[in-house]
Every structure is written in structure tokens, then in C-alpha cells.
Structure 1
Amino acid sequence: MSDITMRLELVQVPVSDVDRAKAFYVEQLGFNADHDHQVSDELRFVQLTPPGSACSIAIGTGMSEMAPGSVQGLQLVVEDADAAHAALSARGVEVGDVQDFPWGRFVFLSDPDGNGWAVQQIVRP
């Protein structure tokens, strides 16, 4: 297996209202809207990518049995947690205070369904 390259490029995030979630991720978090396809009456696929990221998220209908809001611990890495906090707050995102840990500085937030995100500034010794 060591000769096989594997890249994580897509993570499903279960939501109850695709349009509301898409608006949150694009308008408030600043993700790029890559795809939005209504494949059939039962299947809609929306792919959204954080700026500068090689990994995207997929939201939609008919893609998963996961309950909306059940994904926790998704993580975005930024250069400056304070700047990210200020920018997200200015866009109307409810974010907690910047928290300092030995392994990084974090801002925590949830999407409208309660899927949990951490925004991390990596702290190097």
C-alpha cells in the first residue's frame, strides 16, 4: 500500500435544507460553489470548497443516511485565528472566542444544522 497515493478530497456534510446550508457556506464562510446538480427528484449534489483547500465538502439530498448536524470536528486551518474570528463575525457567523491550546489557537462554530467546525491557527514552538 505504501506506493499508492491517497488524497482526501471530499467529505459529506449532512444538512436539512440544502439552499440554506449552501448560502451559509458560500456567503458567510466564503467557500467556493463548485457544483450544484439536481441529478433526479431524489438526488441533488452540491460541492463547496474552502478557499485554498484541496478538500471540498458535499451537501445535498439523497446522498447519505447521516442525520443533519451529526458531523463534528471538521477543521479549517488559517494563518491567524484572530483575523479569521473578525472576518467570520463580520459576515454574521456565530463564533466563539479565540481559544488557546498548546497545539493551536482555535475558533469554534457550527453550520445552521449544528455540524461542528474548528478553525485552527497552528502554533509552532
Structure 2
Amino acid sequence: MTFTPANFNVWAEIPVRDLSAGMAFYAAATGGILDRKEMGGEATAFLRTAEPGQGVSANLFVGEPGPADRGPVVFLVVEGTLEDAAARAEAAGGKILSDTVTIPPGRFVYAADPDGNRIGLFEPRMAS
């Protein structure tokens, strides 16, 4: 039997030094909504899924970010165009780290959040 789930990514956790500031950045950069939750005695912020209660795409937690030049990169889908998302990310204190990369499923840029976490901002290709 071959294991082939619909999506291998269950969720991602992104460490931020200040949860409220992290929530503000990720809401601005993605255009999405974050919900603050207490989980296991810790404050976290979930990037809301289309259907509440149907899973978690990613969450923020208070922690020390790792080095920005290595380690996993979390790619987040953005509202609107990639250019708009990149501008929102910079206005919210982030930094764009690359030129736009086009791949068959869409386009992305590498960015850093205000804590230095390296992320990908992804605009899916629209079906023709």
C-alpha cells in the first residue's frame, strides 16, 4: 500500500517574539485572519482556514526564531496579487528577499517577517 495523503503538510508553527506584532504582520502580509487561542497553557495565533474547525494551516507561537539563512520555509497563500502582498509585507515591517519566481502552480517571493523568519508569499495560478 502506498501512502498518498491529499496534503503532506499538516500544519506549520512559526516562532515570533511578540504574538500581537506577529499577528499584525501575518494578517497584513497574507490578507488573512488570525485567531488568538490558548493551547496547552500557551498563547498562539492560528491562521484561519476557509472552514473554521476543519484544521489548522499554520500557527504563530512565542519563541525564538531560527537563523533566516537556513531551515524550512513556510509558504503562505496570499490574498490578491503577489505584488500587493509583497508591498503589504514590507509596510508591516517585513523584507522581500528575492525576485518573483514563477512555477507551474503560481508565483512566489521569499520574504522575512519582522523577526527574521524566512517565509514564502505565494499567489496561485488562476485556472484558465
Q: Same fold (TM over 0.5)?
A: yes
- Superposition TM-score, scaled by structure 2 size: 0.60
Where in structure 2 are there 5+ consecutive unaligned residues?
Answer: none
Specify the SS of the correspondent of 2:61: strand
Root-mean-square deviation (CA), in Å?
3.8
Specify the SS of the correspondent of 1:44: strand
1:67 aligns with 2:56: no
Aligned to 1:45: 44
Q: How does 1:4-19 map to 2 (within 5 A)?
A: 5=5, 7=7, 8-19=9-20
- What whole-Å deviation, never above 9, does each CA across 1:39-92 have from its counterpart, x for those lacking one? 54xx2122113769x75211123xxxx631446421135698xx2212441562
Larger Rg: 1
- Superposition TM-score, scaled by structure 1 size: 0.61
What is the percentage of aligned positions where both structures have the same residue?
24
Where in structure 1 are there 5+ consecutive unaligned residues?
Answer: none
Instruction: Return the offset for 1:11.
Output: 0.9
Q: Equivalents in 1 of 2:113, 2:16: separation in Å?
A: 9
Amino acid at match of 1:73: V
Q: Equivalents in 2 of 1:24, 1:114: separation in Å?
A: 12
| Change over 3 Å in CA distance of 1:47–1:97 after alignment to 2 | same
Q: Equivalents in 1 of 2:49, 2:113: separation in Å?
A: 14
- Range with greater deviation from structure 2 (15-24 or 100-109): 100-109
